Structure 1
Amino acid sequence: MSQIGGWVTRGPGLTMMEATAVSKNGRIDPNGVGLWNEEQLESLKAIVDFTHSQSQHIGIQLVHAGRKASTVAAWLGNENATKETGGWPDDIIGPSPVPWDENSFMPKEMTLSDIADFRNSWVSSVERALRAGFDVIEIHAAHGFLLHQFLSPVSNKRTDEYGGSFENRIRLLIEVIQDTRRTIPETMPLFLRISATDWLEETGIDGWTLEDSAQLSVKAASFGVDFIDVSSGGSHPEQNFKLGPGYQAGFSKYIKNAVKDKAFVGAVGNITNGVQANGLLEEGLDAIFSGRLFQKNPGLVWSWADDLGIVVHAARQIQWGFREIPNPFTA
């Protein structure tokens, strides 16, 4: 509450709740946020209610970590969470028995029954998110988590209707999109986060590509996705990122060109100031997302507005101290 409260009182257009697991074994780490029971719903509702009290909007990003589950919290290191440290190494699932790397736990290949259970868990979490009052649902199908694992041939080696061809590999995600769209109000925005590429083009490893993402995005929009949130990577340890200012914005532009006006498209990743962000909007993107910089500066949007010489709304008890006050010595 204290962290998110600091953000929502300082002017963002939309705040997104972090990756929230739809089942206990879908958490990334033992400390991960979840929404598979009523107690969790009540805790999240308190955050939503405070956000709305500040005339702000908040969304929730739903996820299942798949083969990337049962790790320790990221700030503790790149390690597995064993039973002794609160992990669940015997209950990790994925599209295929292919671990992230040789040091990771081996996932169990999901049966058709497991897939049905996952879809049911997903819908239950969406229903709880609605009851908590969230304004937006985002399907997290990026960063090597379960839905991305089904998309990418690097992690999906199935030979049934959920593996092999492009159409088969995107099948589960399309089903989840349909499940979600049927559950939420017609007027409620549905976001989809994707990894535009696995960054494996230079390795010779067959992975998910930008062209795949563009094709998927067009299909996702036709099934009711309103917004494509474009990130990248996370599916293989040999990924070769090409980092730099706004390094993922080109992917967003490519996908925007593919979906045109059928969906909004946003960019994220090393966007560090208001001038840079506004430039990307002027080039045709619909929104800018930022994550880590809010950890350093909860008033990031306010700072970006200052970069551009414009005014954004912040909580009165905070913003009043920055009002223009006449100088008593010159007035």
Structure 2
Amino acid sequence: MIKNNIQTQDNKQQSLLFTPLRIKGVTLKNRIGVSPMVTWQAVDGIPNDFHIAHYGQFALGGVGLVMVESTAVEPRGRITPADTGIWNEEQVEPWRRITTLIKSLGSVPGIELAHAGRKASTSVLSYSSKSMATDCENGWSTIAPSAIPFGDGIDKVPKEATLDDIEVLQQAFVSAAVRAVSAGFEIIDLHFAHGYLISTFLSPISNQRTDRYGGSLKNRMRFGLETARRVREVIPKSMPLFVRISVTDYADNGWDVNDSVEFAKQLKAVGVDVIDCSSGGVVNDIMYSTLNPSDVQHKASAQIQSEAGIATTAVGKIVDPLKAEALLRDNSATLVLIGRALLNNPHWPYTAADLLATEHTFKYHVSYDYSIGWHGFYNWRKNMQNDN
């Protein structure tokens, strides 16, 4: 069982949220991470000034980990034509500009490597209505474990992957991982969730194969386990490897939390360090608003951490610093990944620090320290005392 160690100082219980976390050779200054969120601002997969501003703001805001968005390992793996990519060398240097900035501001850069599978080739402008990319938007053919469309507007029938295709797809993840290392990323998160390529291999709803990649749970896990193992072999031994999974399909006869526990055990055995716990995305008619996915994900994170003996992340509507602290303190997770709260306030860690941190556990950026940091606080108190 993974247990979060609570340190003490001056006989007071310290915040776990602001306790550093070491994973292999990488140390996060705190346990606040940016959850990967697509932005659809790239051209030919290349990140630009938008991405520099977007990711720089989170690092300046004090997070320990800046995980950049779902980034395609090959062109047909993009969700939309405006996705970022890391399938060629031209994309490496623009990413290096971003990782250099993130590190200069005291955070660790991570990247989510992804392939959208049958949910690829959708329109940027109408993604909210889930329609396919038109010919003028350079739509393309898609691929999946079985020739079953997602539906709900994403109706293109994907090609059923051959064994040769599977080799090509796995090699795309491997090559992308090598480029990610070259680009300066220090953590890799493999995207095995949300009904994208590898998620559809895992679920019996979307995987109707009869070969060694389909049928039994062991066979359905094979693609993901092989991919994770191959990526682990080509990245530095000191580099943490995360895997994002959907802990449940929310559907009868689909992938469930018990499957996720078993998959986590197998992922740990091939060298994965952290399971990033999300959910859903395989079935097109799930009413998520009635299911409280955040609660499901947090409970699954706790179960996986306990039963599989591997560190997990909690993700989903974590907007209250005290909620984040509680998730860590009750061993529901080792790290929290935050999306909406950081979009609303990229300096969310400053708010959390006001509640939970001390001058020893949270450092403001030097440019802000005099105004709002501990240095500014002590000067303010000194001035108040002088006035009195």
Q: Normalization by structure 2: what TM-score?
A: 0.80
1:298 aligns with 2:350: no
Paired position in structure 2 for 1:320: 370
Instruction: Provide the rounded CA distance (Å) in 2 between the counterparts of 1:30 and 1:225.
Output: 30
**Paired residues of 1:229 and 1:267 also in contact (CA < 8 A):** yes
Distance 1:310 1:75, change over 3 A: farther
Question: 1:159-197 CA distances to partner (integer Å, 9 max, x unpaired)?
Answer: 111000001000000000111110011111010100100
Paired position in structure 1 for 2:149: 99
TM superposition shift of 1:237: 1.3
Paired position in structure 2 for 1:208: 255
Paired position in structure 1 for 2:44: none
The 10-residue stretch of structure 1 (76-85 or 2-11) with the greater mean CA deviation from structure 2: 76-85
1:81 to 120, 133, 145: 133
**SS in structure 1 at match of 2:266:** helix
Instruction: Provide the rounded CA distance (Å) in 1 between the counterparts of 2:193 and 2:337.
Output: 15
Q: Which amino acid aligns with 2:272?
A: V
Instruction: Provide the rounded CA distance (Å) in 1 between the counterparts of 2:184 and 2:94.
Output: 12
Q: CA RMSD in A?
A: 1.7
User: Which runs of structure 2 are paired with 1:38-49 in the superposition (5 Å)?
Assistant: 38-49=89-100
1:230 to 254, 268, 277: 277
TM superposition shift of 1:105: 1.1
TM superposition shift of 1:47: 0.2
Distance 1:317 1:48, change over 3 A: same
1:172 aligns with 2:223: yes
Unaligned 5+ segments in structure 2 are 1-51
TM superposition shift of 1:39: 1.4
User: Which runs of structure 2 are paired with 1:1-331 in the superposition (5 Å)?
Assistant: 1-73=52-124, 77-78=128-129, 79-88=131-140, 91-101=141-151, 103=153, 104-200=155-251, 205-241=252-288, 242-243=291-292, 246-260=295-309, 263-284=310-331, 285-311=333-359, 312-322=362-372, 323-324=376-377, 325-326=379-380, 327=383, 330=387
Instruction: Provide the rounded CA distance (Å) in 2 between the counterparts of 1:233 and 1:74.
Output: 23
Unaligned 5+ segments in structure 1 are none
Instruction: Provide the rounded CA distance (Å) in 1 between the counterparts of 2:134 and 2:206.
Output: 22
Q: Which amino acid aligns with 2:105?
A: Q
**SS in structure 2 at match of 1:199:** coil
Distance 1:314 1:29, change over 3 A: farther
User: Percent sequence identity over matched residues?
Assistant: 37
Instruction: Provide the rounded CA distance (Å) in 2 between the counterparts of 1:158 and 1:102.
Output: 23
Task: Give the count of matched residue pairs.
Answer: 323
**Paired residues of 1:197 and 1:210 also in contact (CA < 8 A):** yes
Distance 1:74 1:225, change over 3 A: farther
TM superposition shift of 1:239: 2.4
Instruction: Provide the rounded CA distance (Å) in 1 between the counterparts of 2:112 and 2:125.
Output: 18
Distance 1:245 1:214, change over 3 A: closer
